[in-house]
Structure 1
Amino acid sequence: MQYRFFFVLLTLAYPLFAQQPTARQITRHINNLASDKMKGRGTGSPENAKAARYIVRHFKKYGLTPLGTNGYYQPFTAKVRRVVVPDSLRKAANVIGFLDNEAPYTIVIGAHYDHLGMGRQGSSLDSLPQGKIHNGADDNASGVAGLLELAQYFAQNSVKEPYNFLFMAFGAEELGLQGSRYFLNNPTLPLEKMNFMICMDMIGRYNPDRGVGIGGYGTSNTWPAVFNGLSSTIKFFTDRAGNGGSDNAAFYAKQIPVLFFHTGGHPDYHRPTDDPGKIDASAEEAILRLEINLIENAMQHPKMNFTAVK
């Protein structure tokens, strides 16, 4: 009888526990997005569109409401500026899902899903990049995996949070933050309703001597209170600046407080050697649990003000 009672309790508790990010799920997402079959997810490629469909499939699974201009998609035209190629204008899209908690303000969580493709769109650091698959496992399949794990957690944790969530996978980041800038100039949710933005770009190569960097600490005077007493199983450090690194810079330019999570540069950055086998999924799991703690702390505070970092 005691065993049966324990089993019932365990069964009831398991769904909540199961929504926590796990290294296994992170690895699965990264292996899918950064395999050789995906050919580097270059903007405008069939593989980039396939990556977008992968994200849409999971947004649907998690029950997020479409908030693009065409279902979950917000299509736009991206331009390759850094090299001269025949297809310098390319079809691109942001992928946008909304978790409506009937709250007045919304937390934005984002990561870009494009990479350098076959090395023909510029930005590769390989000496002869053309025709080589740039898998972009860390940059930024790791961030998309984080986006999907956080979307699952907040959508399926059986808690009606005091803020809504906008989950966004940005296109054409590698071509100059084009997806996030397009969204901010054509928002599908009023910018004044956004509380803050969390950006994940390259969170898969944790170095315990360095720790995970969190930029944007100076973009609101509420952040120190949010970080106060923050529990973490992983080393981290903060930086005040909010206008560099990734798509967070576009939100900072619109005077929206930001945080930017990253595990730093490495020799495989923007090279064909940025492969899934080099990702530390267990450390990324710890980083995402840190982000959950931080977001839950932030939700105990009123809407944040923006402060410019000098």
Structure 2
Amino acid sequence: MKKLALFSLIFSSYFSVFSQTEVTTSEIKNHIEFLISDKNQGRYPGGKANKRVVKYIKKEFKHVGLQAFNNNYKQVFKAKLRVEKGTDNAPEVNTSNVVGFIEGHDPLLKNEYIVLGAHYDHLGLGGPSSKSEKRGVVYHGADDNASGTAALLEIAEKLAANKDQLKRSVIFIAFGAEEQGLLGSKYFVENPLVPLSQIKLMINMDMVGRLNKNNHVYAGGAGTFNGGVEFMKVLGKSLGLNPIVHAGSVGGSDHVSFYKKNISVLGIHTGGHPQYHTPEDTLELINLEGEKLVCEYISQTILSKASTHNNIEFINQD
């Protein structure tokens, strides 16, 4: 009986550690299910639904052990919303970035930062950015970008459990109002919580939930830091991915705001699809195992770059 009790204790301890240090498809699915639920109304900036999503992300950041800057995970800003052509007086609403960090353990390198980001907002009930004629229905945005937000939360949990490996510090940002013109990331770089000169690399995840049968994952901007192209190719292939790595191709999402400030970037995604910006971008089409693999790709990238003394140098690709 004692042996059985001891075995149970060891097993439960192992499972507890595993659940904290490894990305799981069940947690990815749970995060996406919450984010795309009808009650969150397509995660449009402003209003109660936006506050509910921000509260959820903040709670998850706190739960996995991320620290807050100035005792506040929220970075509140005003977002001017896009409107249909011919409409005057675009409304302005309050929304938030959600920000947390893990401090590196090296006395010098902890003052250098790697940023991991993903936008959590989507199109609400339709609007000027929609690719569908439907209005008044929920644009779920399971891939765009509940997938990236779920990956952000899962990678944060994994890296927090492995923080002893981090020499550099890692900042995690869930951006608001990306769909309104990269507003959350623009606000962050204009109102940074650390000096921009100390941010050495920004990795952005936007639509990472639709890994195809060829295991294609796209990495844009890998040439903006020294050795980046070869590093991303070799790492991806070692994980069974077929990475399509571009030295440039910096565009289309929140990493652009950082690149414009001369910060090295990576934009990670798994490709476009017909459901982009339509109500049909739903959970059933997410490749959960594929997203888990993409999370591993990004986690190992951060662990490698945050655990080395080697400099990360910005290279302009314009």
1:236 aligns with 2:243: yes
Pick which of 23-32 and 3-12 moved more.
3-12
Pick which of 192-201 and 156-165 moved more.
156-165
1:308 aligns with 2:310: no
1:93 aligns with 2:77: no
Paired residues of 2:102 and 2:163 also in contact (CA < 8 A) = no
Q: Which residue of 1 aligns with 2:76?
A: 75
Residue 104 of structure 1 and its aligned partner are, at CA, apart by 2.2
**Cα separation, 1, equivalents of 2:177 and 2:88:** 16
Paired residues of 1:242 and 1:252 also in contact (CA < 8 A) = no
Gaps of at least 5 residues in structure 2 are none
Residue 199 of structure 1 and its aligned partner are, at CA, apart by 0.4
Q: With structure 1 as the length reference, what TM-score do the two structures score?
A: 0.92
Residue 17 of structure 1 and its aligned partner are, at CA, apart by 2.7
Q: Which residue of 1 aligns with 2:263?
A: 256
**Cα separation, 1, equivalents of 2:82 and 2:233:** 43
Q: How does 1:113-192 map to 2 (within 5 A)?
A: 113-120=120-127, 122-127=128-133, 129-157=134-162, 159-192=164-197
From 80, 97, 108, the counterpart of 2:115? 108
> Greater share of helix residues, 1 or 2?
2
Q: Deviations over 1:38-84 (max 9, x none)?
A: 110111132122111110000110121112x7711111110124433
Paired residues of 1:173 and 1:246 also in contact (CA < 8 A) = yes
Aligned residue pairs, count: 307
Paired residues of 2:215 and 2:241 also in contact (CA < 8 A) = no
**Cα separation, 1, equivalents of 2:7 and 2:114:** 37
From 276, 300, 305, the counterpart of 1:293? 300
Residue 237 of structure 1 and its aligned partner are, at CA, apart by 1.5
1:199 aligns with 2:180: no
From 55, 58, 63, the counterpart of 2:57? 55
- Secondary structure of the equivalent of 2:111? coil
Q: Which amino acid in the other structure matches residue 91 of structure 2?
A: S
Q: Deviations over 1:162-219 (max 9, x none)?
A: 1111000000000000000001000011111112011000001111236011111111
RMSD of Structure 2 on Structure 1 (CA): 2.2
Q: With structure 2 as the length reference, what TM-score do the two structures score?
A: 0.89
Q: Which amino acid in the other structure matches residue 130 of structure 2?
A: S
CA gap of 1:269–1:229, structure 2 versus 1, over 3 A, is closer
Percent sequence identity over aligned pairs: 38
1:36 aligns with 2:38: yes
Pick which of 49-58 and 231-240 moved more.
231-240
- Secondary structure of the equivalent of 1:65? coil
- Secondary structure of the equivalent of 1:259? strand
- Secondary structure of the equivalent of 2:40? helix
Gaps of at least 5 residues in structure 1 are none
**Cα separation, 2, equivalents of 1:291 and 1:10:** 29
CA gap of 1:123–1:42, structure 2 versus 1, over 3 A, is same
From 274, 282, 285, the counterpart of 1:267? 274
**Cα separation, 2, equivalents of 1:209 and 1:237:** 11
